[in-house]
Structure 1
Amino acid sequence: MKLYLDPGHGGTDPGGQGNGLIEKDIVLDIAQRVLSILTVDYEEVEVRMSRTSDISKSLNQRTNEANSWGADYYLSIHCNAFNGSARGYEDYIYSGLSDSSTTSHYRNIMHEEIMDMNQLPDRDRNKANFHVLRETAMSALLTENGFIDNDQDARLISDPPWRQRVAKAHVNGLERAFGLKRKQISGTLYKIIAGSFQSRENAEKRVAELESQGIEAFIIPFSAPNAQWFRVQAGAFASRENAEMHLEQVRNAGVEDAFIITEGSDTDNEESGGYSIAGKTYLSPELMDQYVKGINSGAPELGHYYLELGEYYGIRGDIAFAQAMHETDFFQFTATVQPEQNNFAGIGATGPDNHGANFDSPWEGVLAHIQHLYAYAVTAPLPEGYPRTDPRFDLVERGSAPAWVDLNGKWAVPGDQYGQSILDLYGRMIGESISTLQQIEENIGE
Structure 2
Amino acid sequence: MKLYLDPGHGGSDPGAQGNGLQEKDVNLDIALRIREKVINGYDNVEVEMSRTSDTFKSLAQRTNEANAWGADYYLSIHCNAFDGTAQGYEDYIHSSLSDSSTTAGYQDIIHAEVIKVNQLRDRGQKKANFHVLRETTMSALLTENGFIDNAHDGALLKKSSWRERVAQGHVNGLARAFNLQPKQDGSGTIYKVIAGSFKSKENAEERSDFLQSNSIEAFVYSTTISNELWYRVQAGAFSSRENAERRLEEVKNAGIDDAYIISESTDSNQDDITGYSILGQTFQSPQHMNMYVNEINPDAIELGNYYLTFGEYYGVRGDVAFAQAMHETDFLRFTGVVQPDQNNFCGLGATGPDKPGASFDTPREGVLAHIQHLYAYASTNSLPDAYPLVDPRFDLVDRGSASTWAGLNGKWAVPGDNYGKSILNLYERMIDSTMQSLEETLQKIES
Which residue of structure 1 aligns with residue 332 of structure 2? 331
Report the CA distance shift for 1:182/1:410 in structure 2 as closer, same or farther (over 3 A): farther
Q: Which secondary structure does the structure 2 equivalent of 1:281 belong to?
A: coil
Report the CA distance shift for 1:30/1:290 in structure 2 as closer, same or farther (over 3 A): farther
Q: What CA deviation, in whole Å up to 9, does each residue of 1:354-395 have, x standing for no partner?
A: 322111111110011111222333333332332222223334
Deviation at 1:282, TM superposition (A): 1.7
Instruction: Write the distance in 1 (CA, Å) between the matches of 2:324 and 2:383.
Output: 21
* 2:55 is the alignment partner of 1:47: no
Deviation at 1:341, TM superposition (A): 0.6
Contact 1:32–1:52, Cα closer than 8 Å, also in 2: no
Q: Which secondary structure does the structure 1 equivalent of 2:426 belong to?
A: helix
Instruction: Write the distance in 1 (CA, Å) between the matches of 2:410 and 2:2.
Output: 32
Q: CA RMSD in A?
A: 5.4
Instruction: Write the distance in 2 (CA, Å) between the matches of 1:409 and 1:263.
Output: 35
Instruction: Write the distance in 2 (CA, Å) between the matches of 1:30 and 1:337.
Output: 41
Which residue of structure 2 aligns with residue 167 of structure 1? 175
* 2:3 is the alignment partner of 1:5: yes
Q: What CA deviation, in whole Å up to 9, does each residue of 1:56-90 have, x standing for no partner?
A: 9767424654588xx58654579867799x65454
Within 5 Å, which residues of 2 pair with 1:136-285? 142=139, 164=172, 167-168=175-176, 170-171=178-179, 185-188=186-189, 265-270=264-269, 273-285=274-286
Identity rate, percent: 49
AA of the residue aligned to 1:371:
Q
Instruction: Write the distance in 2 (CA, Å) between the matches of 1:388 and 1:161.
Output: 42
Which residue of structure 1 aligns with residue 341 of structure 2? 340
Q: Which of structures 1 and 2 has the bigger CA Rg?
A: 2
Instruction: Write the distance in 2 (CA, Å) between the matches of 1:63 and 1:445.
Output: 41
Within 5 Å, which residues of 2 pair with 1:26-45? 36=37, 39-42=40-43
Report the CA distance shift for 1:348/1:51 in structure 2 as closer, same or farther (over 3 A): farther
Which residue of structure 1 aligns with residue 290 of structure 2? 289
Contact 1:37–1:171, Cα closer than 8 Å, also in 2: no
Deviation at 1:313, TM superposition (A): 0.8
Q: Which secondary structure does the structure 2 equivalent of 1:276 belong to?
A: coil
Q: Which secondary structure does the structure 1 equivalent of 2:368 belong to?
A: helix
Which residue of structure 1 aligns with residue 387 of structure 2? 386
AA of the residue aligned to 1:61:
Q
Contact 2:350–2:357, Cα closer than 8 Å, also in 1: yes
Instruction: Write the distance in 2 (CA, Å) between the matches of 1:90 and 1:346.
Output: 29
Contact 2:6–2:62, Cα closer than 8 Å, also in 1: no
- What residue ranges of structure 2 are gaps of 5+ in the alignment? 14-29, 76-90, 104-108, 110-133, 142-167, 192-216, 218-238, 247-260
Instruction: Write the distance in 1 (CA, Å) between the matches of 2:384 and 2:417.
Output: 31
Contact 1:367–1:389, Cα closer than 8 Å, also in 2: yes
AA of the residue aligned to 2:296:
I
Report the CA distance shift for 1:415/1:48 in structure 2 as closer, same or farther (over 3 A): farther
Deviation at 1:339, TM superposition (A): 1.2
Q: Which secondary structure does the structure 1 equivalent of 2:383 belong to?
A: coil
Report the CA distance shift for 1:50/1:8 in structure 2 as closer, same or farther (over 3 A): closer
Deviation at 1:49, TM superposition (A): 3.9
Within 5 Å, which residues of 2 pair with 1:92-111? none
Report the CA distance shift for 1:161/1:404 in structure 2 as closer, same or farther (over 3 A): farther
Q: Count matched residues.
A: 303
Which residue of structure 2 aligns with residue 61 of structure 1? 61
Q: What CA deviation, in whole Å up to 9, does each residue of 1:14-73 have, x standing for no partner?
A: xxxxxxxxxxxxxxx999879745533437x653245789x99767424654588xx586
Q: Which secondary structure does the structure 2 equivalent of 1:6 belong to?
A: strand
* 2:358 is the alignment partner of 1:357: yes
